[in-house]
Amino acid sequence: MKKIVLIAAVLAAACFAVIYTGVIIPDKARVSTPTAAIDDPIARLFSDRRSGVQVQGSGIVIKILPDDNDGSRHQRFIIRLATGQTLLVAHNIDQAVRIETLETGDSLGFSGEYEWNPEGGVIHWTHRDSAGRHLPGWIIHKGKKYW
């Protein structure tokens, strides 16, 4: 009888360890994870291959690219979201102020239009529309709003 109780206790402890060490994640834990990609609107847009949707979010600058000077000039950089998804930000510097102090590793907030691409997507329209036909976007960097 003692052997059966001991075996039951060991099995219960093993099950407990498997569930709470992340090997098996209960459905309740999976649903309540705030950064789960399934709950993230930008991740949903990426998986659905949708474009032309106004979004807001935040991320960390992982790479600063050369400006695009063909046509309307854009300051370009890549950010990583909390979900791990990367986005190219194309900030129109003919319409908005350039972010001169931007560096790799900086965090920022953004509002703009999401466009799908296989690398994660592009955020543009991070500025006001002088004609008033498009929702204004913005970037917040070190407490300053660029739009």
Structural domains in the chain (count): 2
Distance in Å from the first CA to the final CA of the chain: 74
* Res 5 pLDDT > 90: no
Q: Do 10 and 81 fall into the same domain?
A: no
Question: Which residues lie across from 74 on neighbouring strands?
Answer: 68, 92
The domain of 28 spans: 2-32
72, 27: one domain: no
115: domain CATH number is 2.40.50.200
Q: pLDDT tens digit string along 10-68?
A: 444 444 333 333 333 333 333 333 344 557 999 999 999 999 999 999 999 999 999 99
Same structural domain for residues 138 and 82? yes
Cα separation, 141 vs 101, in Å, equals 9
